[in-house]
């Protein structure tokens, strides 16, 4: 059947018809909202390159978590800005570190909210790299021990899930093994499995004060040209015990999300990263595009490509919009 018998426009005619045949539905259930936490009290420090995003202290983070929960968003992911940085990022696994304290404060206030913690060294090291250095290179194997310690300290504070974002080889296995050995068999691992070396992390590095002090992350994060390699990375993380696998960034990597969704029967998360957020905010501020429509189109596209969970700075705005629709 072809034109004029078949007319695709018949099912686009009214909003109710469009709703009836819609293939992808967004819901706040799929969102994970990122929070940046720093020491102190009563802090709500705006991040210039990410309008609407703030560095928070543990008390304001708990208030924010409450708001997130009340909007029907099931999860937050925490990033920490420590008091002081050193060569080995030792604040990252301090029992009373900034993330550990924020996890406790959030869990006190919202016990049912899923609390995920980012596990990485870049915010905690004086050099800003995601692992310990040997000379000017990030040394993989000694970093694993530190990452495992960080994960356990987050689990001890009450995190439901840890999310290693460092891209060291073998980190998921090292973390899983240590969590089990320390009595946390039910703490889940969401692995940043296919994390590309991307220009779109720029605003995050301002928010998290985590820019590398020399060089870049190309020796550990993935080359944007590679798709098959993403499948290998994901295979490895699943074999090492990842419960959720992630593709990051999202927008320039929708093909990767789709391939991963088709190849693996595992929950697939995508990270709608800081630069993707900043682009829309900046264009909207200039009156160059409609912020709400662009936001929903992008989130829909990530979901349609195959992401089951979306980490996004738009989570609260999108949840509000979905509730009013």
Residue ranges in contact with ligand PBG by CB under 6 A: 118, 120, 122, 130, 165, 201, 204-205, 217, 273-274
Instruction: Give 90 or 272: the residue with its C-beta nearer to ligand PBG.
Output: 272
The residue from 85, 248, 281, 316 that is catalytic is: 248
The residue from 84, 85, 107, 195 that is catalytic is: 195
**128 vs 132: CA distance, rounded Å:** 10
The distance of closest approach from Cβ of residue 18 to ligand PBG in the complex, given in angstroms and rounded to an integer, is: 32
Give the number of other Cβ atoms within 10 Å of residue 260's Cβ: 26
Instruction: Give 108 or 274: the residue with its C-beta nearer to ligand PBG.
Output: 274
DSSP 90-115: GGGG-TT-HHHHHHHHHHHH-TTSEE
The distance of closest approach from Cβ of residue 42 to ligand PBG in the complex, given in angstroms and rounded to an integer, is: 25
Is residue 316 part of the annotated active site? The answer reads no
Is residue 195 part of the annotated active site? The answer reads yes
Q: At what angle do helices 171-181 and 140-157 cross, to 10 degrees?
A: 40
The distance of closest approach from Cβ of residue 38 to ligand PBG in the complex, given in angstroms and rounded to an integer, is: 16
List, in sequence order, every residue forming a beta bridge with 310; answer none if it has no partner.
31, 270
Instruction: Give 184 or 271: the residue with its C-beta nearer to ligand PBG.
Output: 271
Phi, psi (rounded to 5 degrees) for 114:
-75, 120
Residue nearest to ligand PBG (CB): 204
The distance of closest approach from Cβ of residue 59 to ligand PBG in the complex, given in angstroms and rounded to an integer, is: 24
CA distances to 24, 101, 142, 171 from 240, in Å = 32, 29, 18, 8
Q: Supply the DSSP symbol for 241.
A: T
**175 vs 190: CA distance, rounded Å:** 11
Phi, psi (rounded to 5 degrees) for 290:
-85, 110
Instruction: Give 57 or 210: the residue with its C-beta nearer to ligand PBG.
Output: 210
CA distances to 105, 112, 313 from 74, in Å = 17, 8, 14
Instruction: Give 153 or 165: the residue with its C-beta nearer to ligand PBG.
Output: 165
The distance of closest approach from Cβ of residue 63 to ligand PBG in the complex, given in angstroms and rounded to an integer, is: 22
Point out the residues that are catalytic. Answer: 195, 248
């Amino acid at each position: 059947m072809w034109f004029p018998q078949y007319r695709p426009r018949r099912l686009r005619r009214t909003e109710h018809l469009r709703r009836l045949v819609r293939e992808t539905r967004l819901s706040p259930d799929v969102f994970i909202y990122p929070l940046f936490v720093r020491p102190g009290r009563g802090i709500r420090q705006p991040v210039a390159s990410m309008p609407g995003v703030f560095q928070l202290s543990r008390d304001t983070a708990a208030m924010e978590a409450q708001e997130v929960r009340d909007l029907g968003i099931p999860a937050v992911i925490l990033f920490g800005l420590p008091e002081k940085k050193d060569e080995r990022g030792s604040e990252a696994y301090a029992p009373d570190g900034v993330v550990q304290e924020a996890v406790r404060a959030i869990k006190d206030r919202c016990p049912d909210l899923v609390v995920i913690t980012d596990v990485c060294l870049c915010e905690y090291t004086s050099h800003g790299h995601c692992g310990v250095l040997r000379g000017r290179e990030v040394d993989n194997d000694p970093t694993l021990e530190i990452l495992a310690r960080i994960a356990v300290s987050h689990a001890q504070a009450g995190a439901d899930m840890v999310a290693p974002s460092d891209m060291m080889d073998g980190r998921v296995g090292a973390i899983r093994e240590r969590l089990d050995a320390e009595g946390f068999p039910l703490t889940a691992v969401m692995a940043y499995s296919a994390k590309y070396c991307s220009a779109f992390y720029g605003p995050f590095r301002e928010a998290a004060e985590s820019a590398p002090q020399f060089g870049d992350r190309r020796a550990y994060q993935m080359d944007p040209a590679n798709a098959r390699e993403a499948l290998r990375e994901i295979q490895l993380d699943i074999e090492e015990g990842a419960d959720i696998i992630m593709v990051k960034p999202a927008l320039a990597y929708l093909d990767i999300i789709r391939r991963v969704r088709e190849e693996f029967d595992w929950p697939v998360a995508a990270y709608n990263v800081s630069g993707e957020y900043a682009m829309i905010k900046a264009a909207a501020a200039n009156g160059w595009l409609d912020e709400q429509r662009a936001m929903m189109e992008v989130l829909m596209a990530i979901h349609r490509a195959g992401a089951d969970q979306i980490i996004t700075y738009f989570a609260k705005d999108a949840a509000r919009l979905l509730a009013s629709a």
